Structure 1
Amino acid sequence: MTQLQQTERSKQAGVALILALLVVALVAAIAVELSWKFDLSVTRSANRWYGVQADAYLLGAEEVGVFLLETDADEDSKDGILSDTLTEIWATPQQFPTDEGWLRASLEDAQGRFNINALVKKAQKPNGNKTPAPWQKWTAAQRRFIRLLQTIEIEPEVYMDQQVAMSLTEAVIDWVDKDSKVTGFGGAESDYYGQLEPPFVIANRPMISVSELNIIRGMTPQLYQALLPLVIALPDEEATLNVNTMPFELIRTINSKTELYPSTVDDAQYIFEERGAGFDDIEAFKTSGAVDQVVGGGGGNTNLDTDGLGVASKYFLMLGDTAVGETIRQRKTLLHREGSKVTILRRTDANF
């Protein structure tokens, strides 16, 4: 074999080796691509299946909640005492094992939170030509919200000033009312929100979700997070605040109608302890020893404005979460009870 022939065979062998390597690389790339797509397809299928399973479990939790609320309404009807308290069976959290993990569900009285849409009502001017006192410029609900804001710790050992609380309340009022008239010095209408970057269109209607508070003039992320478990946007601005189920922070909003400051921690603790298993009606709450001591005004408690307060509720939150596979899925459901009939109004993964 000549030198030329050997060189030619070496070139052919080199080309064949390169082609073989290219084929191997191509096959490997195709295998990796197919394997990735197969894994993705399997994962998607599993997620869809787990999603269907989670929805089924959470729907089951809703049905349990509906049953408990209907049962409670029937028992109240038999007893003749229409009140809702934290000692009733619906208020007990439930947890169940499932084939895929577990399911937790709890019912919360939505009227145990402050209804932000209650701020939409305007204060009535006093009869005659009398100049209204500072407290008369606000409705009972607005005074409670001003007091609530002052209970929020915005920084360690730092609480909101009353004037700032009043300004923020005015801004919320302007967001939910129907007119374009600026309320007080802290209010804000379309002129303010239209100049923001990016600009916003003011709602001028009741809130659908308390998430809208994030846009309100004067609201901060820290304050919003602190308010989140205490407020709600209910579709009924007339829904009362249940004194039997409201948390400690809202008990501090119980004070003389002439005061825009919250009651002290000790006074609120006194009311909280006397509440015990709950009051049968709002008159029993109004004339209780603890409220009389905190608010004053004698046995009739003329200093306590009970407008917007109640002991029975129509709106409830079902908070559910379930572990399916390696993921945890959550859902919040707003329930409405009229008599002994319970209907589902909305479902969300966010906030009401």
Structure 2
Amino acid sequence: MKSPGAQRGVALVIALLAVALALVLIASLLDRGELAYARTRNVVRGEQAAAYAEGLEAFAAQVLMRDRDANPNLDTLGEPWALPLPAQPVAGGQISAAMRDLNGCFNLNNLIDDTGGVWRKRLRNLLATLQLDPALGGAIVDWLDGDAAIDAEGGAEDAAYLAQAIPYRPGNRAFAHVSELRLVRGMDGDSYARLAAEVCALPMGSSINLNTASLALLMSLDSRITAALAERIRQDGQARWADVDSALRELGQQGVTISDPDRAGLGVTSSYFLARGEILLDEVPFSFASVLERRSSGADGGIHVLARSRGEDDLAPQQRAVVSESPSAN
């Protein structure tokens, strides 16, 4: 028969084990409860952010429509749509927004059915301005077309892509997003960062707005246009050319005459815009972007959403500064 002291020792051990088990169970329940709370909070905040993004998109559409009604024949960087929306407090955090004129960038899809080769020439000039490998021009064109042979300009078709360590086929169609450039043969990280800031993927036939185009894009219009001459057209972002002839007349006075065929696709108005919303809720950032098309008045007029995305994959306009800092801009 065990002594009373031994029995008390066994009872104490059992009690300690019971307390430890209870603590483990309680900690597990608390952990599960916190995890469930975090999941619920994230879902709620995500839905709240999406609702704010829809509101910002609707606000952007209203701003663009008011601008069209006020001045349908001119778009510049001095108009209300170009002014960023400062951070505004909302329930749970804050929101801010900005718009970028996509007619101020090079539309890669204009390389398709490029009658006369005007857009290919501009792409070559753009690559030279950005100090990028000129062979990228041929590779980009071949990514878009459906030919079965190696392009003489340095492009590559199916065989070249299928021969890589991880084989895949070229798109042979229009770009759906600028990020597809990463798949183009010869495109490294630095080249992509420089080029993606100047290009966009829009429906074929879009024009270049001379009032909102970047320095690099203006320089791509003719190989003789220097950074200083492009700045005379851009006017430090304050350009208000009433028509294409007025802007090109300024170039002509500086010794650069652009022929009529090379004037194709130039304008002073814009139809495509990228609206970005930055939302911060409970210190968690959410980013949304919408590509908006503003059509002229009429039965099909108004704002049409062409694409929506979520995340930081769209480059900000200020990243274009890489061009003005390059040696070729001097």
RMSD: 2.2
Structure 1 distance, partners of 2:6, 2:162, is: 75
Give 1:303 deviation, angstroms.
7.5
Contact 2:294 2:304 (C-alpha < 8 Å) held by counterparts: yes
Which residue in the other structure is 1:314 paired with? Answer: 271
Structure 2 distance, partners of 1:57, 1:109, is: 22
Note the 1:1-352 alignment, pairs <5 A: 5-6=2-3, 9-77=4-72, 82-95=73-86, 96-122=88-114, 124=116, 139-152=117-130, 159-160=131-132, 164-165=133-134, 167-234=135-202, 236-255=203-222, 261=223, 263-273=225-235, 276-287=238-249, 289=250, 291-294=251-254, 296-297=256-257, 301-302=258-259, 305-340=262-297, 341-349=302-310, 350-351=313-314
Structure 1 distance, partners of 2:237, 2:39, is: 51
Contact 1:94 1:104 (C-alpha < 8 Å) held by counterparts: yes
Contact 1:151 1:262 (C-alpha < 8 Å) held by counterparts: no
Structure 1 distance, partners of 2:23, 2:224, is: 71
Structure 2 distance, partners of 1:208, 1:295, is: 38
SS in 1 for 2:138: helix
Give 1:295 deviation, angstroms.
5.2
Structure 1 distance, partners of 2:287, 2:177, is: 18
Give 1:270 deviation, angstroms.
2.2
Over 3 Å counting, the alpha-carbon distance change for 1:348 and 1:275 in structure 2 is closer
SS in 1 for 2:275: strand
Structure 1 distance, partners of 2:40, 2:224, is: 54
Over 3 Å counting, the alpha-carbon distance change for 1:50 and 1:5 in structure 2 is closer
Contact 2:273 2:291 (C-alpha < 8 Å) held by counterparts: yes
Structure 2 distance, partners of 1:205, 1:170, is: 15
**CA deviation profile, 1:172-215 (whole Å, cap 9, x unmatched):** 00111133232214111110111222211211000101111011
Contact 2:99 2:274 (C-alpha < 8 Å) held by counterparts: yes
Give 1:232 deviation, angstroms.
0.8
Structure 2 distance, partners of 1:245, 1:276, is: 9
Q: Which has the larger radius of gyration?
A: 1
When the two structures are aligned, how many residues end up with a matched partner? 308
Contact 2:208 2:266 (C-alpha < 8 Å) held by counterparts: yes
TM-score, structure 1 length as denominator? 0.81
Over 3 Å counting, the alpha-carbon distance change for 1:64 and 1:186 in structure 2 is same
Structure 2 spans left out of the alignment, 5+ residues: 316-330
Over 3 Å counting, the alpha-carbon distance change for 1:339 and 1:144 in structure 2 is same
Structure 1 spans left out of the alignment, 5+ residues: 125-138, 153-158, 256-260
Contact 2:98 2:276 (C-alpha < 8 Å) held by counterparts: yes
Give 1:228 deviation, angstroms.
2.2
Structure 1 distance, partners of 2:47, 2:218, is: 41
Structure 1 distance, partners of 2:154, 2:303, is: 40
Over 3 Å counting, the alpha-carbon distance change for 1:275 and 1:209 in structure 2 is closer
Structure 2 distance, partners of 1:194, 1:10, is: 81
Structure 2 distance, partners of 1:101, 1:274, is: 35
